[in-house]
Structure 1
Amino acid sequence: MKYITKQGAPRNYLDWCKANEGLNNEDYRCLQNPEKASLHETLIKEQGGLCAYTMRRIAVSSSHIEHIKPETLCRAELRGSDLDYNNLVACFPKEGMTNPFRYGAQEKGDWWEDDGRDFVSPLHKNCEPKFIFNLKGEVAPFKGDHQAKKTIEVLKLDHNSLIEDRERAIKEFIFGPAGDSPLSPKKVDQAIRAVCERNKSGQFREYCVAIKHALMEYTRQQKKAAKKKKHIQAQQKKK
């Protein structure tokens, strides 16, 4: 999960919300284009082109506007609260799209137990350290974190399809598309610091947090192997 820094709703969306405040239309279901389209595009840009839950690459054509706290619950509690920008993110898949691989927003649906206390939101500053990824693309809660464990379960972040996608992205990044051009130790160190930064177009790399964790594991493995090799060579010289 990649931490999302909220940067502000589009002006036409804010104007629409203000114009409908206190009216029957103060309801997310009444939101139409161009305001809805502007909102969708802003969320994707804000997230650097990644799904808020899975870190998959998304575009308008492959995503929908997601309420972290389900919109039906918001409306039941307070009129207009389903329009709160700080509860909105963009997620895979497109609204109405049938996806055979149920994970992320599609799997979460209207889940919201105990007012979401055990759900790790991508809007929480400490969301990234709660999860750990390995070189195989597998995800686990860091040090058994119970919120991360529940979130992995709710979003099915351990779905085989996601694991395979993350592993592919990790291997291509470290070893190259053909798998025969591993990064040098210097390049790995540089990548650990930079892989989660936006590019010139404002986009994040797909599965960037998983790649960063995998790079750190790869570095540990390489150092361990180098130490072992050095020890073996030292033993051979003694003979």
Structure 2
Amino acid sequence: MKRVIKGTEPVSFTEWKALENEQWSPTYRDLKHPQKKQLHTSLLNEQGYACCYCGDKITLDSSHIEHFRPQKHFRHLGLEYINLHASCQGETETPKPAHCGHSKKSDFCEDTHISPLEDDCENRFKFTLLGEIKGNDDSPAESMINLLALDIEFLNSRRKEKLEGIFDNAFLADFTMEELETIIQRSRQPLSGQYEAFDHVVARYAEQLLGH
């Protein structure tokens, strides 16, 4: 899971919601362009163009607006910016296989869900050099992996390729703590506001080598 630090919702979205009157109350279904596109872009910017769940690189076309607490059960949160994120796999895309938001759908349980907004959400997961994701001795983390299908071969193989491109045999045989710290710092800093795919996975693996 990718840590998300929420910013301020776009002014156009706030102003659109403020149009509420006795005859009309805004709902997510009512949200159209340009406000919807501006909202989507705002979410992408604050996430560094990385999926809030798997951390893959995303764009407007390859992502959708995700309700962390699903509208089916939390209709009153349908337009709350704090509940909105950008998840990979676009709205009109037929994802095969489905993962992240499209896998989660309307499932939700307060006791087992981990929010991308939690400060320690990334530390609740760990990765192997084969690209596998596991709970860090954490039952809710295992539940989220299953719910979001974060352990499918499609994601495992891409994470494996990313990790092996950095942590090859030569590096693992002779790395220093300073080199690991540098990798973490670079992976945590988006280039021109955008992360590369699975940068947070690289950072977590380096942190694991440091014993964190």
How far off its partner does 1:187 sit? Answer: 3.4
Secondary structure of the residue aligned to 1:90 is strand
Q: How many residues align?
A: 209
2:183 alignment counterpart: 191
2:92 alignment counterpart: 96
Over the aligned positions, Cα root-mean-square deviation in angstroms equals: 2.2
Secondary structure of the residue aligned to 2:61 is helix
User: TM-score of the superposition, structure 2-length normalised?
Assistant: 0.89
User: TM-score of the superposition, structure 1-length normalised?
Assistant: 0.80
Matches within 5 A, 1:154-165: 154-165=147-158
Q: Please say if residues 131 and 159 of structure 2, whose CA atoms lie closer than 8 Å, have aligned partners that are also in contact.
A: yes
5+ residue gaps, structure 2, are none
2:162 alignment counterpart: 169
One-letter amino acid of the structure 2 residue matched with residue 44 of structure 1: L
How far off its partner does 1:184 sit? Answer: 5.6
User: CA separation of 1:16/1:58 partners in 2, compared to 1, >3 Å: closer, same or farther?
Assistant: same
Secondary structure of the residue aligned to 2:167 is helix
One-letter amino acid of the structure 2 residue matched with residue 151 of structure 1: M
Greater gyration radius: 1
How many Å separate the matches in 2 of 1:25 and 1:215?
48
Alignment deviations for residues 18-71 of structure 1 (CA, whole Å, 9 cap, x no partner): 112665341000001110000000000110010111101000010110101111
Percent identical among aligned pairs is 27
User: CA separation of 1:71/1:21 partners in 2, compared to 1, >3 Å: closer, same or farther?
Assistant: farther
Which region of structure 1 is more displaced relative to structure 2, 26-35 or 207-216? 207-216
Matched, 1:211 2:205: no
Q: Please say if residues 51 and 88 of structure 2, whose CA atoms lie closer than 8 Å, have aligned partners that are also in contact.
A: yes
Q: Please say if residues 122 and 204 of structure 2, whose CA atoms lie closer than 8 Å, have aligned partners that are also in contact.
A: no
How many Å separate the matches in 2 of 1:64 and 1:21?
28
Instruction: Pick one of 114, 125, 139 that aligns with 1:146.
Output: 139
One-letter amino acid of the structure 1 residue matched with residue 96 of structure 2: P
5+ residue gaps, structure 1, are 221-239
How many Å separate the matches in 2 of 1:217 and 1:127?
15
2:2 alignment counterpart: 2
